[in-house]
Every structure is written in C-alpha cells, then in structure tokens.
Amino acid sequence: MKQHLSPPDRGDGVTALDDCADPVAAFLAAHNNGRLISIRTSGTTGHPRRVVRTTASWVDSFPAVAELIGLQPGSRAWIPGPLTATMNLYAAALVTYYGVSLVAECDSATHAFLTPAGLKALLEQSAPRDLRIVVAGDRLRPELADRAEARGWRVSHYYGAAQLSFVAWGRDATRLRPFPKAKVRVSGGQLWVSSPWLCERELVPAGMQPSLAVEVDSETGCRWASVGDRGELRPDGRLLVAGRMDVILVGGATVLISEVEAALRKAAQGQVYVVATPHRRLGSIVAAVFTEPTDLPGLQGRARTVLDRHQRPVRWLRVPAVPITSAGKVDRNALAALAAERIQPPGSSHPLQNLGSTAESSAADPRIASGSSGTTPFAGGET
C-alpha cells in the first residue's frame, strides 16, 4: 500500500480525498492522524457537492459490514467501479483496513462490490460459484437477486447515501432493515436516520440547496438527518425506500418519479425509467424509457390501470440499453437528454421509430390537446 502521510488539505483542516492520488491510503492516514475527510459527490442531482465526515464514521462500521458479508483475512475483493464513487471508496477502505487482497478480475475473487447494473452484467459472464456480492448505488430488484442466487452467489444489498452512510441492509430492496446502530423514522413520507455513521456536514456551491437536512431532538440530543428520500417503515421492521423526491411538474400537478417507476416495473421484464420531456403548454410531460420491446403493451396497460391521469407517461421510447455513469449508476441526465432529442413534440405528424404515434399518445391522454393537467389549470409559460 502506498504511503500518503501528508494528504491534501484545502485549508480548513479537512483532508480532501478526491485530491489524492491514492484516496484509500489518504483515508487511512487521516484516520491515524485524527483528521476529518471530505468526499466529492454528485448524488443523483448532477451537481458537485462535498461531504465532510470523521473517519470513525466509516471505520467503526467496518466490523459490522465484515461480519455481514463474511469478510476474512484470506478473502479477495473485486471492486470494478471507480473510487470516485463513495460506495467503492468505502469498500476499498474496508478491505484494505482488514488486509484483504484486491484483485483485478472477478474469476479470482471471493467478494464483489457492484451496482445493480454491474450485477446484471456479471450474470452474463462466468464467475466463481461461491461468490459473495454486495450491491448498492441503486435499488436491487428481488428478481435480479433471485438470478444471482440461482448462480450460487450470496447477495447482500444496502441502502445509504454519501451523507448518511449506512441506513438499511438486506437481501434486496424489499427486505431492507435498519443497519446496526441506525435508528430510522418516517415523517411525512420522508426518511430520517440517526446513527454514528452520519457525516458532519455537507458543503455545496453558492446558490445551491443542500441535499442534507438535519434536525436535533431537543429532549434526547439525537441528531437526525435526511437527504429527501421517501419511504415506508413497515410494522415488521422492513424499510421500503421509494427514492429521492424527484418530481415532474405537469401543468400544475406534481408527479413523483419513483412512484411511477415502481408501478411500471411490475409490468416490465426489462428496465424502465421515467423522465420529463418539455411541453410548450404543460411545461413538462411524463415519458417512459424502456429496454424490452415486448414490454410496451403491458406497460401502457398498467399505466392506464394503476396511475392517475397526470402520472401516466404520454411518450414511450425504447432503447437497447440505458446509459450508465462512470460510477456504474443509471445516468438519468443522459436518459432525459436522449428522450428530449428523440421524442418529437406534440403535434408532429410523423411517428418516431420505437414509439407509438403522436395521435395514439394524444388519444390516450387528452391533456395534450387541452393543455390541462386534469387537476389544476395550467398558468405558466414555455420551459
């Protein structure tokens, strides 16, 4: 391991790991020296921001994670994603701390740290049968976990955020339970967590709103934090996470993207994501991007059945594969740009390839003709 005894300091007494040639060595040096660290992250908003935390907020969670995934001194870890992603940096720090070897190929690994997209790709390749896989960075659907377990792999999944670190752990997104020493509550549909794993603060560029919200319980002194994710804490202790409070405003009506995606995915064999596309009267309309050609009838049928009128996609775009960021997550910004480029504006007389015609879409959703959301009058200009 490289020695990095004097990691970069931005002048505020905080070690900036993204400035380091070897961020893992810099993390361990900061831990030995009792220094705070900062990690640059863009989250899902696409805007750079920096999280400041103690090294203990990671290191003290190492024993719990090592036990959950069966990490041993003789283990060999495969972390294919870049260390600029917080989940990968944590994994690399964890295995280095325990003296576990990092390997360049999955064939020689005992443990793999992946996003759901990375797991899906690995399922098309050869890999050791007794592999332990840790999946994070996005929701792990139970069907994907089933496929992995059918290969003989042992799957773990966790929900967290750069600001919160670990919040919940389980086999897949439907079986998450609070991580050790994490207390979770839901207020107004929004998830809040109190734990030793929280960051100290979040630094954002001028003019930007922070993702992190913090409240202190006046009676107990407990610090509670949220990044705006929505979810539900079930009576049996399971935590169901709906995702960030990303919305589409359709003529005065608010559409929560995560709710629409959750509804549509129950009718999809492939992948499906929801994005906003511009509309000159409504401001935005809902579009669905999907990968499996045969899914379209079922997706449209489910949308008509379970979604309110303002939630239903009125444009459908098929792509052979969804774009992925360098961190291995679905690139929603690229999806939105692709949809805006390939989906013709309402009123066009030429149907797009892989799309239903404009007339068919408009017939399914009369808002396009009326310029109304069906809930409140539209009183805005063009976007």
Q: What is the pLDDT of residue 116?
A: 87
- Mutual angle of helices 86-97 and 23-33, in 10-degree steps: 60
Q: Summarize the confidence of residues 73-102 as an average pLDDT.
A: 94
Which helix or strand (DSSP H or E) is residue 360 part of?
helix 358-364
Q: Report the range of poorest mean pLDDT among 246-255, 284-293, 299-308.
A: 246-255
Is it the case that residue 378 has pLDDT exceeding 60?
no
Place of tokens 């064999």: 269
Q: What is the pLDDT of residue 252?
A: 58
Is it the case that residue 277 has pLDDT exceeding 90?
no
Q: Are 239 and 177 in contact (CB under 8 A)?
A: yes
Mean pLDDT rounded to a whole number for the chain: 83
Half-sphere exposure at residue 185, Cβ-oriented, CA atoms within 13 angstroms: 10
For the chain, how far is it from start to end, CA to CA, in angstroms? 52
Q: What is the pLDDT of residue 294?
A: 96
What does the pLDDT look like over 222-242, one tens digit per residue? 999 999 888 999 999 999 998
Pick the more confident residue, 215 or 345: 215
Q: What percent of the chain has pLDDT over 90?
A: 60
Strands 239-243 and 230-233: antiparallel
Closest to 146 in 3D by CA, of 124, 170, 171? 171
Domains of the chain: 14-181 (3.40.50.12780), 247-370 (3.30.300.30)
